[in-house]
Amino acid sequence: MTATIRPRSRKVRVLATLGPASSTPEMITRLFEAGADAFRVNMSHGDQESKRPVIQAIRSIEKALGRPTTILADLQGPKLRVGKFADGRVMLETGERFLLDRSAEPGDARRVELPHKEIFAAIEPGARLLLDDGKLVLRVLEHDADTIVTEVVVGGALSNSKGLNVPDVVLPLAALTPKDRSDLAFALDAGVDWIAMSFVQRPEDLAEGRRLIEGKAALLAKIEKPSAVARLEEIVEHCDGVMVARGDLGVELPPESVPPLQKRIVEVSRRLGRPVVVATQMLESMITSPSPTRAEVSDVATAVYDGADAIMLSAESAAGAWPIESVSMMNSIATSVELDPGHGDRVHFTVTKPDPTTADALAEAAKGIAVTVSAKAIVCFTSSGSTARRIARERPSVPIMVLTPRLETARRLGLLWGVHAVHTKDVASFEEMVAKAKRMILRHNMAGAGDQVIVCAGVPFKTPGSTNVLHVVRIMGDELKGYKGA
């Protein structure tokens, strides 16, 4: 028999990336115990077969702990790189000219191959080319079908196969590379819950991913290019979730523009009812240090105050020297912020106006009633998860217990703010609904004798999208029998 895991005391979720430092079953278990709610598998590193035992380990731990656990597979996307140099490395001098061309010949201090024909067709004079995560900057002077002539604006050392960013134009690149397609098929076969698409430029980019996923996983769009920011609302409307990918976003845009953009992306995602993850360099110093800087702590806290659904660790938990400590620190910061008496007011700076539907009206009402009657929790019965997403968007002051007959739904909800998902049998009547809500609330230690909880569901039962019931129930003392510690 599996254990019953008590819900987290905090509402924001912690997404931990797995890697060389954290891929064993023992380490994954310790990460969960330290506070990780969901796990990211980065398809950019390692081969597919190295990921399979990691995913299987998460599922085994999920079964042992009795709690649906979320797995996100992050696709690499169309990563742009320069070619190789005859000596492996050159020095580009500021003010000098440098050519990028279609020749496969090894490069030197005057030229190098650029193996991406799409750039030659789309580039324009004046556009910037950023090399090696923005450390070097080139400006395009002229170009033809085979050569781009640039001026070195910021020089420095450039070595083989360094990354290239093109922030000033929308490139006619396929949304998914052949590697992404293969990785996507593998991830779906392995049973992941979310697929993250990298370097999304426009809403049309998501269509191919949606078609290939065929409903087998939820689709998350990573916002990391200026072109995506320009069409932000359209992109958010076409995906199931959003990630503020501050790494490449901070390369392609001035660093000072990233904080207000982060707030805007979080606000738009929340307003449109999509879970939003804030990611990259949140506790970067903990890759090598057992404690973070005060600035990093403040950065994590800001994301929590803004009402992000999840905060993510990258190399800190995947390859750093202190993966457990990094997750524990993220957990501690989020918990501390949510205990701040002013947290609730700040989270509601974003206005989430409900759509004119019964389900949205009930979700908004549940939040208000929870405060008025001092309810301990909101219990939501759902098949697709849409009711849970509506309630989570309102950021209620109490936890949200989601009861669903679909395991895949329970797993996907692991990125939603405040949600504790339980995979359980469906109900067939109003009386059964009330009894099950009470039983599950007691079993998971979310309320006690005399407490009230709010129940949301749809009648007729077993009909997706029919949420039309909001009911307040009180737990009586005799209902505690058989629930030790409840």
181 class by beta-carbon count within 10 Å (0-12 exposed, 13-18 middle, 19+ buried):
middle
Residue 435 lies in a domain: yes
What are the tens digits of pLDDT across the range 398-407?
999 999 999 9
At residue 2, the pLDDT reads 43
Residue 348 lies in a domain: no
Q: Give yes or no: residues 323 and 394 share one domain.
A: no
Query: Under 8 Å CB-to-CB from 415, ≥6 apart: which residues?
Result: 13, 15, 38, 70, 72, 194, 241, 275, 277, 309, 310
At residue 237, the pLDDT reads 97
Residue 346 lies in a domain: no
Q: Give yes or no: residues 67 and 102 share one domain.
A: no
User: Is 280 annotated as catalytic?
Assistant: yes
Q: Residue 145 in contact with residue 126, Cβ under 8 Å?
A: no
> Which of 137, 165, 193 finishes a domain?
165
Q: Give yes or no: residues 181 and 311 share one domain.
A: yes
CATH number at residue 70: 3.20.20.60
Q: Total structural domains in the chain?
A: 3
Q: Give yes or no: residues 456 and 371 share one domain.
A: yes
Catalytic residue, chosen from 17, 70, 280, 467, is 280
Q: Give yes or no: residues 22 and 63 share one domain.
A: yes
Per-chain mean pLDDT for the chain: 93
User: Is 263 annotated as catalytic?
Assistant: no
> Which of 165, 196, 221 finishes a domain?
165
Residue 261 lies in a domain: yes
Residue 120 lies in a domain: yes
Catalytic residue, chosen from 59, 79, 81, 264, is 81
Query: Under 8 Å CB-to-CB from 67, ≥6 apart: which residues?
Result: 5
* Segments in the chain below pLDDT 70: 1-5, 462-465, 477-486
Residue 204 has phi, psi (to 5 degrees) of -60, -25
Q: Give yes or no: residues 282 and 377 share one domain.
A: no
Distance CA 25, CA 288 (A): 23
Distance CA 366, CA 172 (A): 46
Q: Give yes or no: residues 96 and 73 share one domain.
A: no
Residue 374 lies in a domain: yes
Percent of the chain at pLDDT exceeding 70: 96
User: Is 111 annotated as catalytic?
Assistant: no
Q: Give yes or no: residues 191 and 260 share one domain.
A: yes
> Which of 140, 165, 190 finishes a domain?
165
Distance CA 373, CA 474 (A): 11
At residue 364, the pLDDT reads 93
At residue 1, the pLDDT reads 34
Q: Give yes or no: residues 136 and 218 share one domain.
A: no
Q: Give yes or no: residues 46 and 123 share one domain.
A: no
Q: Give yes or no: residues 384 and 257 share one domain.
A: no
User: Is 274 annotated as catalytic?
Assistant: no
CATH number at residue 434: 3.40.1380.20
Residue 332 lies in a domain: yes
Catalytic residue, chosen from 222, 367, 395, 412, is 222
Distance CA 193, CA 73 (A): 8
Residue 6 lies in a domain: no
At residue 359, the pLDDT reads 86
Catalytic residue, chosen from 8, 13, 40, 389, is 40
Distance CA 393, CA 383 (A): 18
Q: Residue 126 in contact with residue 139, Cβ under 8 Å?
A: yes
At residue 265, the pLDDT reads 97
At residue 100, the pLDDT reads 97
Distance CA 138, CA 71 (A): 39
At residue 22, the pLDDT reads 97
At residue 197, the pLDDT reads 97
Q: Give yes or no: residues 66 and 202 share one domain.
A: yes
CATH number at residue 117: 2.40.33.10
Identify the domain containing residue 112 by its residue range.
Answer: 89-165
